[in-house]
Amino acid sequence: MTLHFADLHPPRPTRQTLEAAHAAIHTDLAAGAADRRGTALARWDEERRRYESWSALVHLRFSQDTANAEARAERDYADALAPEATRHEVSVKRHLLDHPDRAALIAEQGAHRVRLWEMDITTFDPAIAPALEEEARLCAEYTELLASARLDVEGTRVNLSGLAPFQETRDRDVRHRAEQARWAFFAANAERLDGLYDRLVTLRHDMAATLGFASYTPLGYRRMRRVDYGPEQVAAFRAQVLEHVVPLVHRLLRQRTAEQGWDRLYAWDESLIDPAGNPRPAGAHDLLIERATMMFDRMGPALGAFFRTMNDGGFLDLRNRDGKAGGGFCTSFPTEGVPFIFANFNGTHHDIAVFTHEMGHAFQNWQSRDLPGIDLLWPTMDAAEINSMGLEFLTWPHMELMVEEGAADRYRRMHLIASLAFLPYGVCVDHFQHEIYADPAMSAEGRHALWRRLERLYMPWRDYGDLDYPAKGGRWQAQLHIYRLPFYYIDYTLALCCAMQFWLAARRDADDAMRRYTALCGQGGSASFTDLVASAGLVSPFSPGALHDVVREAETVLAL
């Protein structure tokens, strides 16, 4: 029996239904009897799954059709209800943590889940509910502002994601004009972008103060559910990237500049990684689905069968169309177990990433669907991005299927270079946010100057030429995570450090690497980031020298 996406109709919660369901859970928990505790726990899990499935579907439906007034109204309704759902969730966690016998609670729930809950209850108080609602509203405003961009380039009108093919074309003047068009949009909206960010930073700082934190940073780490590391370890990782990766990327860029015969390397030259042109996908949507099916079948029965389940059930929406929100993501419906992949194909190599990156997230969610309790279905994002980026590297041997004729080797080289070049940018975004939340009263000019200073540190090659807006420090405003998902960004770099270890392992023994990867996916969120990393036999990014082996292998492969 195939499950179809169109058949998903999770019930729509209201303040009243949430209130009634949670009152019953509290009553059963308070009764003390073992059978009623069991009933309460099962009912709570069911309640959370239903709510999450509904919320995921509402947000997905809006992303699929942002011009649909009904979908927008439903998203606004969900955003307004979210703090209420959090309030109930936290109240049950508090109730459970009040258990008189801690050892018995850990035996029942597992130590990891108890640690997560202990962290979660410190991130919410009913007093911040209005601020949370306002935060969601400001984030939506940022998304809609960026989605409203209409840029004229080479005689066509595109949105920001539609710029990608022009940003990496071989024609240097077109790349330059594409960047001019992009930054003209940001310059024209500078005041709104500065104002929105200022309100978000102030709001977050005030929320932290209400909850008893000295600044937003510790609250931000807790909202990311980081139970096993803090800002000091993250700073040490950034220092490793600065020491080992920045010089390597700088050398690669100098080499490219010389090869191309350029006088200097401008910002708009950085995305043309392959001198012959970044390799394109083998074809359009239908062909790529067919090829991806073959690729996943070759990688093992579990992956292949799962991809068919998604495709047959309509759990893929990959075509670009008018009114669709930008970007790509994987979301899930914990009542059903089958995740959903959303993307916007644009004919560049980014289309291949959808099958390799988002499928990694989806496969993990599927492999761990039977773990007990909703808290364990997804790992924290640092670990989740190992599942996604890990698959990007594990699909390397099958790239002949996905890439245009004869370009698989060039694709692999481009992917490796892009991954290395991402690390300095990723840690720069993270460093910026630590400084921002340490000084929430910083002026807009101060924030731009700060970004430029950090950009010079982590990307000393960056030359914006005549692009005034980023030259003065405005580049960060194009990074949605800085607005919408504070402190998330470092997770991509931590995960990449681990995913590249899968790359290294697969070069030695592909079957063993795939086995370890599949086992890691099956663990879902049953342990913390560093525990999951250790269980997969990987070196923690926080260990000194974590990047050493992959950087050395990359130097060899790239013949530096």
Query: In the structure encoding, which two tokens stand for residue 34, read together?
Result: 């073992």
Q: How far apart are CA 138 and CA 496, in angstroms?
A: 30
For the bound state, the minimum distance from the C-beta of residue 499 to Zn ion, rounded and expressed in Å, comes to 11
Q: Residue with CB nearest Zn ion?
A: 388
CA distance linking residue 191 with residue 53, whole number of Å = 37
Gyration radius from the chain CA atoms = 24
Contact 559, 146 (CB under 8 A): no
Distance in Å, CB of 389 to Zn ion, minimum: 7
Q: 10 Å Cβ neighbour count for 117?
A: 19
Q: What is the enclosing helix (H) or strand (E) of 487? A: none
Which residue lies nearer to Zn ion by CB, 388 or 526?
A: 388
Whose Cβ is closer to Zn ion: residue 178's or residue 386's? 386
Are the C-beta atoms of residues 1 and 313 closer than 8 Å to each other? no
- 261, with CB counted inside 10 A (0-12, 13-18, 19+), is exposed
Smallest gap from Cβ 438 to Zn ion, in A, equals 27
Residue with tokens 């169309």: 321
> Which residue, among 267, 334, 291, 249, has the nearest Cα to 56 in the 3D structure?
334
Task: Report the nearest approach of Zn ion to the CB of residue 143 (Å).
Answer: 18
Q: Which is nearer to Zn ion, 81 or 352 (CB)?
A: 352
451 closest CA partner among 440, 434, 186, 488: 434
Q: Are strands 156-158 and 151-153 parallel, antiparallel or unpaired?
A: antiparallel
Task: Rank residues 78 and 383 by Cβ distance to Zn ion and give the closer one.
Answer: 383
Q: What phi and psi values does residue 472 have, to the nearest 5 degrees? A: -95, 5
* Closest CB 358 distance from Zn ion, rounded Å: 7
Taken as a whole, the chain contains a residue count of 560
CB of 315 to Zn ion, least distance (A): 17
Q: How far is the CB of 426 from Zn ion (least distance, A)?
A: 13
Binding mask 97-126 for Zn ion (x = CB under 5 A): ------------------------------
Q: 496 pairs with which residues across the strands?
A: none
Cβ pair 215, 437 in contact under 8 A = yes
Q: How many residues form the binding site for Zn ion (CB under 5 A)?
A: 1
Q: Give least dist CB 161 to Zn ion, A.
A: 16
228-234: long-range contacts, CB 8 A cutoff, minimum separation 24: 228/528, 228/529, 228/530, 228/531, 229/529, 229/530, 229/542, 231/434, 233/542, 234/430, 234/434, 234/490
**Residue 332 sits in the site that holds Zn ion (CB under 5 A):** no
Whose Cβ is closer to Zn ion: residue 362's or residue 450's? 362
Measured from the CB atom, the residue of 3 and 485 that comes closer to Zn ion is: 485
CB of 429 to Zn ion, least distance (A): 15
| Closest approach of Zn ion to the CB of residue 104, in Å | 37
* DSSP of 238-303: HHHIIIIIHHHHHHHHHHHHHHHT-SS--GGGTT--STT-PPPBSSSHHHHHHHHHHHHHHT-HHH
Minimum CB–partner distance for residue 388 and Zn ion (Å) = 4
> Given the complex with Zn ion, which of 114 and 341 has the nearer CB atom?
341
109 vs 501 by CB, closer to Zn ion: 501
DSSP 222-251: HHTT--S--HHHHHHHHHHIIIIIHHHHHH
Give the nearest distance from C-beta 357 to Zn ion in angstroms.
6
When the beta carbons of 389 and 416 are compared against Zn ion, the nearer one is 389
Tokens representing residue 500 in the block? 């590249």
CA pair distance 427, 458, nearest whole angstrom: 8
3-state secondary structure labels for all residues of 165-185: HHHCCCCHHHHHHHHHHHHHH
Rounded CA gap, 355 and 148, in Å? 27
Closer of 169 and 388 to Zn ion (Cβ): 388
Residues of this chain, 362-421, that bind Zn ion according to CB under 5 A:
388
What is the closest distance, in whole angstroms, from the C-beta atom of residue 548 to Zn ion in the complex? Answer: 25
Residue whose CB is less far from Zn ion, 92 or 495 = 495
Alpha carbon distance 171, 169 (integer Å): 5
Which one, 128 or 303, has the nearer CB to Zn ion? Answer: 303
Return the number of the residue (332 or 388) whose C-beta is nearest Zn ion. 388
Q: Contact residues for Zn ion (CB under 5 A)?
A: 388
